Chain A
């Protein structure tokens, strides 16, 4: 196992990881293939417009999937993520030319000392808009 972060050195409010993810239409097509989610609102402007969307949207599950990656790298091992939840609060519109930049900040939200579990809270934004709410990751550090 790769060494886990030292639980005893953590304090609630510590920023443990930050990363930004430039999404393009290519990212959406790649995720569609990898996940099997071929809903055309994630790659066709005409269909997105038909159903009243402001543009082609990133898959919510793509945003959820990438937002946990800075925590995985901090934890050292994806197997340490025991629980992960999000609320989809706002869609990520991916412009065909300029894409979208998703920024993730991961902070210690709560520490359970008896279980050595850290709850890491994610702030996930595009510009000033929060796109995932109640985004929480439980990481087992024992």
Chain B
């Protein structure tokens, strides 16, 4: 893959509107049982405008930025050789149904390690006011030719 990708920032993604039923569907899929994830009344009682997304929901928005990276002919990444190494979410606040989110990808690092490449992709997710919500960081391992 292309080492000159390091430091590159991609254009922001199209805004993603977080729907209540999408949050509930995702919450059920990850076996969430907390009523704040599932029940708008419980979420309001806890001080939120609507149901709160589980901690890993940001992956749905981050996914659009990883698609940008993999689709870029300059990245030289062969999707069939990509393995997900690490994942991290660092939040300023939780995602709540009704949020309009935009993600901006920066390639934080590109490293070579024994024939494999490792790319660390940081996607900063902001709300409609431009305030930071969560940063999703993925390390992707691209296996070399064997």
Binding site for B on A (CB under 8 A): 1-2, 21, 27, 30-31, 33-37, 51, 60-62, 64-66, 68-69, 72-73, 76-79, 81-88, 134, 137
Please give the number of chain B residues whose Cβ is less than 8 angstroms from any Cβ of chain A in the complex.
35
Decide yes or no: A78 and B94 within 8 Å by CB, A21-B31, A36-B63, A62-B29 being known contacts. yes
Contact B29–A2 (Cβ < 8 Å): no
Decide yes or no: A82 and B86 within 8 Å by CB, A31-B29, A72-B32, A72-B54 being known contacts. no
Contact B36–A78 (Cβ < 8 Å): yes
Task: Name the one of B25, B56, B90 contacting A65, with C-beta atoms under 8 angstroms.
Answer: B56
- Report B-chain residues with C-beta under 8 Å of the C-beta of A37: 63
Chain B interface mostly helix, strand, loop or mixed? Answer: mixed
- Output the least CB separation between A29 and chain B (Å): 9
Contact B88–A85 (Cβ < 8 Å): yes
Contact A61–B56 (Cβ < 8 Å): yes
Task: Name the one of A30, A66, A72 contacting B34, with C-beta atoms under 8 angstroms.
Answer: A72
- Report B-chain residues with C-beta under 8 Å of the C-beta of A68: 54-56
Scan B66-106; emit 1 where CB is below 8 A from any A CB, else 0.
00000000000000100111111111011000000000000
Binds A, one of B7-15, B44-52, B113-121, B124-132: B44-52
Contact B54–A65 (Cβ < 8 Å): yes
- Output the least CB separation between B106 and chain A (Å): 18
- Report B-chain residues with C-beta under 8 Å of the C-beta of A137: 55
- Report B-chain residues with C-beta under 8 Å of the C-beta of A60: 84, 87
The CB with the most chain A CB atoms within 10 A, among B28, B48, B52, B89, is that of B89
The CB with the most chain A CB atoms within 10 A, among B37, B86, B93, is that of B86
